[in-house]
Amino acid sequence: MNPISRGIKNALRSPVRAGAIILMLAVSITLLVSMLVARASINDKINEVKATAGTNITITPAGIQGFMGGGDPLTSEQVSTIKDTDHVASITATLSDQLGDDDTDLESALELGSFGQRQQRFDSDSSETTPTPPSDETGEDGSRRIMGGPRTTVTGTTTPDNNGGLSFTSGETIDGGSGDLVALVGATLAEKNELSVGDTFTMYNKEFTVKGIFTTDNQFQDSGLIIPLETLQTITNQAGAVTSVTATVDSSDNVATVIESLKGSLADKADITSQVEQAEQNVSSLESIAGLALVGVIGAAGAGAIIILLAMIMIVRERRREIGVIKAIGGTNRSVMTQFTSEALTLTVVGGIVGLAIGITVSGPMTNSLVTNGQTTASSNQMPGRQGGPGGMGRPTNFNSPGAQIDQTFKDISSTVTPETLTAAIGIMLLIAIVGSAVPAWFIANIKPAEVLRSE
């Protein structure tokens, strides 16, 4: 036997009391573990959301969204300002237009449907605000064009392949920097018009050559056309105009800075949004839940430490005489402290194993209920109607809608027990045991062996 094995043996000296101490410890460690797990899982999700949000900033002219609203497109000076802002690595500038029946020999691949009809019912009155191509300058032509069937969207962009994000069924991408009469055609539109790579079609009285056919998972985009930005600006008589700029920032840390300086330089001429900003708003409630979980961790650890501390103080006081005897027969302070630390450690480890087992089991439901309760706050933080886009009239330039993705993140926070969490839990448990032994150790050191000679 040595002090350590004596301590282990002593821990179970009184089974009822040991059981009570272990039970109390187990409860606090259950709480500790589930809070640690919840915190780690939520933090993981926060980081994931922030990472998915990427480094893109979208700048649209004030008051315009997709083809809706009114106002002036961004000018080429504004585009240069954006491009020259510090930390902006690259930009994608986009101008969109819609083709009526008379603008092209292409047949639209979209059915108007009841939604489309409803959206178009104002268009005969508002034709003046729509950028009018050169061939359609008469009012009569204009209204006829608009009253026609569903329209095909043509997107002029500096990055026709969406920086590699576009997949081609045939052909290849075009140069977004050129002014050539070339086009990428959505698969649905190509099928409707029996177009393949090398074929030509007419748009605004110009003959375009099909260079590639692309598909996305979006029916609306697959019914559209992509051409170089400059080409669209020229044929629609809108030199330099763009309706959307996506700026890519060099690092996610700089997104906020870039947004700040853009807000300064563009003033109220533009709406600036970034997925990072939205993500941050969306995760702010998750962050407060994570903070709550941290309070839980600290509280549970504190409770555990106090439980073992009080238990050990009680045990040491009760065994004053025994400690005095051990010292009288030559036991060193260190040996007695080792024995009692080992006893505290045994109680903590047994309580810890029980608590860990229960904690891992309940951490899933615990995390879920934490997040569900916090989610009421979360959803109120979102901007209503902002991300969805109004159907066929939505944002034709936005290849990936950010909103839906972020919404989803709240629903699938899975609580996983990682090695890091386990290590943290075990580390905190050891800390609890050490705190629980430190004060009793001080009591032990102060017990005078002469006391054993005093009659009780």
Partner 1 sequence: MLSVKNLTRTYNSAEGELVALDNVSFSVKDGEFVSIIGKSGSGKSTLLSLLGALDTPTSGSIMVDDEDIAKLSLVKQTAYRARKIGFVFQHYNLITNLSALENVMLALEYGGVPAKDRKERAIQLLDEVGVEGGMRLRKPGKLSGGQQQRVSIARALANQPAIILADEPTGNLDSTTGKKIFDLLHKLSRTENTTIIAVTHDLDIAGKTDRTFKLRDGKLQQA
Q: List the one residue out of 204, 193, 272, 274 whose CA is nearest residue 232.
A: 204
Q: Does 118 bind partner 1 (CB under 8 A)?
A: no
What does the alpha-carbon distance between residue 265 and residue 259 come to, in Å, rounded to a whole number?
Answer: 10
Longest dimension (CA), the chain: 118
Specify the residue, 44 or 451, whose C-beta has the smaller distance to partner 1: 451
- Tokens 């802002």 correspond to 85
**How far, in Å, CA of 310 to CA of 28, rounded?**
14
**Is 390 one of the binding residues for partner 1 (CB under 8 A)?**
no
Q: Which is nearer to partner 1, 14 or 47 (CB)?
A: 14
Contacts with 341 (C-beta within 8 Å, 6 or more apart), sequence order: 7, 433, 434, 437, 441
Number of residues that bind partner 1 (CB under 8 A): 26
CB of 324 to partner 1, least distance (A): 8
Q: Which is nearer to partner 1, 121 or 454 (CB)?
A: 454
Q: Please give the backbone phi and psi of residue 134, each rounded to the nearest 5 degrees, phi first.
A: -55, -35
Q: How far is CA 144 from the centre of its chain?
A: 46
User: Which residues have C-beta within 8 Å of that of residue 104, sequence separation ≥ 6?
Assistant: 152, 201, 202, 203, 204
- Residue 452 near partner 1 by CB under 8 A: yes
Among 222, 223, 196, CA closest to 209: 196
Q: How far is the CB of 444 from partner 1 (least distance, A)?
A: 13
Restricting to residues 314-373, name those near partner 1 by CB under 8 A: 321-322, 325-333, 335
Tell me which long-range contacts 319-322 makes (C-beta under 8 A, separation of at least 24): 320/447, 320/451, 321/451, 321/452, 321/456
Query: Using CB under 8 A, which of 13, 83, 118, 411 touches partner 1?
Result: 13
Binding region for partner 1 (CB under 8 A) out of 3-11, 75-83, 109-117, 303-311? 3-11
Interaction of residue 413 with partner 1, rule CB under 8 A: no
Of 1-9, 60-68, 100-108, 145-153, the window that binds partner 1 (rule: CB under 8 A) is: 1-9
Q: Which is nearer to partner 1, 256 or 328 (CB)?
A: 328
Please state the closest distance from residue 332 (CB atom) to partner 1, in A. 5
For partner 1, the closer CB: 317 or 321: 321
Positions in the binding site for partner 1 (CB under 8 A): 1-2, 6, 9-10, 13, 321-322, 325-333, 335, 448-450, 452-456
